[in-house]
Amino acid sequence: MSTSKVVLITGGNKGIGLETARQLGKLGFTILLGSRDAARGQEATAALTAENINAKAITLDITNLDTIQSAVKQVDDQYGALDVLINNAGVCLESGLPPSQHELTILRNTYETNVFGSFSVTKAMLPLIKKSPAGRIVNLSSGLASLTEYNIPESDAEKYGLNLLAYMSSKTAVNALTVLFAKELKDTPIKINSADPGYTATDLNGHTGYRTVEQGASIVVKLATLPSDGPNGGFFDENGVIPW
Ligand SMILES: NC(=O)c1ccc[n+]([C@@H]2O[C@H](COP(=O)([O-])OP(=O)(O)OC[C@H]3O[C@@H](n4cnc5c(N)ncnc54)[C@H](OP(=O)(O)O)[C@@H]3O)[C@@H](O)[C@H]2O)c1
């Protein structure tokens, strides 16, 4: 059994997930690096190991229940509990067409990963998280999920101009998962919160983001390491609470 805290990060092989793994690894966490592609997971884990981080790759496609169950078994067999789950894996599949021109398949596929995948991993890992004395769950949301900030005419004009139906609404649904799981878990030590990393340069946006992965991962790390009197069921970026 490991004596350090164990964190599972989905989609940990690159981008914000990999940087989150690096930052938590440097804090002494044992990193379970979820990756849907085994080779990409091994490569990323080797890079962390070279930085003296205790990291292990786990093959995990969050849309595939078999790989989720296999990941649960591996964590249970090797650690018996999970201290932190970071639902980081996500996709943005659309090209900017207005909602009326969206193909249903784009919505379905986006929700399959961002919403149903995150739900499935959370549900499957929860019994192990309940075995931790202070379980933490971080859902990677987005500022674009905020109905208040991006989706009413009174919001900032630049923000109001964005209209990515599948991605934005999927992250609003992720926020609903956060709130409703938090309600269920309110009488336990577990804390679940949504994180907005900000517009971060990664493959997700063709590296158009103006923030670094180091900056993006900082709020994720903060929510993963909340003290016992920290918030539950909230939505945060590095500056504090984001309106729903
Ligand atoms: N970048 C931003 O500006 C920004 C802003 C707000 C929120 N976010 C959120 O932050 C999270 C990380 O995004 P990122 O910017 O770091 O993007 P990224 O570099 O594209 O990384 C996304 C990760 O998710 C993985 N993934 C996608 N589908 C998966 C599946 N079905 N099963 C397992 N893993 C899967 C990818 O794996 P592969 O390598 O195999 O594709 C990759 O590891 C996402 O949830 C995103 O929505 C990003």
Distance between CA atoms of residues 191 and 222, nearest Å? 12
* Structural domain boundaries in the chain: 6-241
> Is the CB of 199 inside a 6 Å radius of any atom of ligand 1?
yes
CA dihedral (8, 14, 16, 18) positive or negative: positive
Distance between CA atoms of residues 69 and 207, nearest Å? 33
Tell me the DSSP string of 162-190.
---HHHHHHHHHHHHHHHHHHHHTTTSS-
Q: Reduced to 3 states, what is the DSSP secondary structure of residue 124?
A: helix
According to DSSP, the β-strands at 191-195 and 55-59 are: unpaired
Tell me the pLDDT tens digit for each residue of 14-59.
Answer: 999 999 999 999 999 999 999 999 999 999 999 999 999 999 999 9
> Is the CB of 142 inside a 6 Å radius of any atom of ligand 1?
yes
pLDDT at 156 over 80: no
Ligand 1 atom at minimum distance from 171 CA? 47
Q: How far is the CA of 192 from the centre of ligand 1 (A)?
A: 19
Is-contact 16 200, C-beta < 8 A?
yes
> Is the CB of 91 inside a 6 Å radius of any atom of ligand 1?
yes
Ligand 1 atom at minimum distance from 209 CA? 3
pTM given for the model: 0.98
What is the residue with the minimal CA distance to atom 42 of ligand 1? 11
Ligand 1 atom at minimum distance from 16 CA? 16
Distance between CA atoms of residues 102 and 108, nearest Å? 11
> Is the CB of 87 inside a 6 Å radius of any atom of ligand 1?
no
> Is the CB of 135 inside a 6 Å radius of any atom of ligand 1?
no
Q: 84 is written with which tokens?
A: 């932190």
- The pLDDT confidence band at residue 100, using thresholds 50, 70 and 90, is very high
> Is the CB of 208 inside a 6 Å radius of any atom of ligand 1?
no
> Is the CB of 11 inside a 6 Å radius of any atom of ligand 1?
yes
**Backbone torsions φ then ψ of 110, nearest 5 degrees:** -65, -45
Tell me the pLDDT tens digit for each residue of 101-148.
Answer: 999 999 999 999 999 999 999 999 999 999 999 999 999 999 999 999
Distance between CA atoms of residues 222 and 162, nearest Å? 28
Q: What burial class does residue 129 get, using C-beta atoms within 10 Å of its C-beta: 0-12 exposed, 13-18 middle, 19+ buried?
A: buried
Best substitution site from 19, 35, 36 to test ligand 1's pocket, by max atoms within 8 Å of Cβ? 36
**Long-range interactions of 104-113: CB distance < 8 A, separation 24+:** 106/166, 107/165, 107/166, 107/169, 110/166, 110/167, 110/170, 111/166, 111/170, 111/173, 112/63, 113/62, 113/63, 113/89
> Is the CB of 118 inside a 6 Å radius of any atom of ligand 1?
no
Distance between CA atoms of residues 175 and 124, nearest Å? 19
Tell me the pLDDT tens digit for each residue of 185-205.
Answer: 999 999 999 999 999 999 999
Q: Which CATH class is domain 6-241?
A: alpha beta
Ligand 1 atom at minimum distance from 211 CA? 3
List the 84-87 sheet strands across, edge first: 55-59, 30-35, 6-9, 84-87, 136-140, 191-195, 235-237, 240-241
> Is the CB of 41 inside a 6 Å radius of any atom of ligand 1?
no
